Copies of this chain bind each other. A is one copy, B any other.
């Protein structure tokens, strides 16, 4: 199978390349990158020096659509939708890593991101969290790859939501992310010296990933859920730890809680439950497509902690997992890497 990567010069682009270049069933035939068009691979991605790669070209859908069967679009929000539409109309399968097709309600999209110019395509898009929507992803031509924070949060809460155990309000999601989640473009806030030896919250009043969590959790729960989400920036490259506090209305035993999670996830290749008494660290999933989950019951409050690599399960790894499903391949193909530790 031939695949292309649109907007390949960022960290999610690199992570796609890292996975796809070793994937046994696909070949990368198209790479685009405006900022780096015409530059050599050693300049764009020094770690790939010497590898035979297609050149980085400027984006021109017409010219490149022929050359691949499936495209990953890793463009900024707002820029992605029209490229996706053009590819879709040419019968290409697309995994879109932007937020453009994640929210089913275009007015909600508009509130957080700006006007949606291709709302007619929203009904074609499947939210690409395989643990929730696997069957629909298999049949989809357009998959909206989830945000990094929503991936960690929804996977941590799905068993509770599926049982209707989430309160409408009051679920606190305190998430801590490595800096690669903000992308590769430099900014004052991601300058090394402003990040090292510091931790801070950001977008406390509201973050674009909240409505995504609400949408999926409400759908799983069967009624409206509004989470209280606060992201933080941690001085590390990769990883998201989500510490989630769920006030339980029903009395529950920790054993039952574990049983619920075990049952829900017994067949999932990328979900790992920690042994009772243990909680996950981001270092245990570095470079892998795993989502590790730990559970503690404190009185009437469940503390659920999940760890993912924001660039793998939180972005490019999950995108490849979605590709595998869409192309009828084994779901875990190309995603068997073990964690780089330390």
Copies in the complex: 4
A336 touches B22 (CB 8 A): yes
A238 within 8 A of B: yes
A330 within 8 A of B: no
A48 within 8 A of B: yes
Interface string of A195-231 (1 = CB under 8 A from B): 1111111101110000000000000000000101010
A286 cross-chain contacts in B, Cβ below 8 A: 47, 197, 340
Q: Which residue of B lies closest to A226 (CB)?
A: B299
Would you give the shortest CB distance from A208 to chain B, in whole angstroms?
15
A169 touches B237 (CB 8 A): no
Interface string of A136-158 (1 = CB under 8 A from B): 00000000000000000000000
Would you give the shortest CB distance from A261 to chain B, in whole angstroms?
14
B287 touches A287 (CB 8 A): yes
Given known pairs A184-B193, A272-B50, A281-B46, the reply for A303 and B230 (CB within 8 Å) is: yes
A280 cross-chain contacts in B, Cβ below 8 A: 46, 200
Q: Which residue of B lies closest to A51 (CB)?
A: B338
Given known pairs A232-B176, A235-B234, A241-B201, the reply for A170 and B342 (CB within 8 Å) is: no
Q: Which residue of B lies closest to A281 (CB)?
A: B200
A298 within 8 A of B: yes
A: which residues have CB within 8 A of B? 11, 14, 17-18, 21-22, 40, 42, 45-51, 169-170, 172, 174, 176, 178-180, 184-188, 190-202, 204-206, 226, 228, 230, 232, 234-239, 241, 243, 245, 247, 272, 274-275, 277-288, 292, 294, 296, 298-301, 303, 305, 307, 336-342
5 contacts between A and B (CB under 8 A): A176-B199, A190-B191, A197-B283, A200-B281, A228-B303
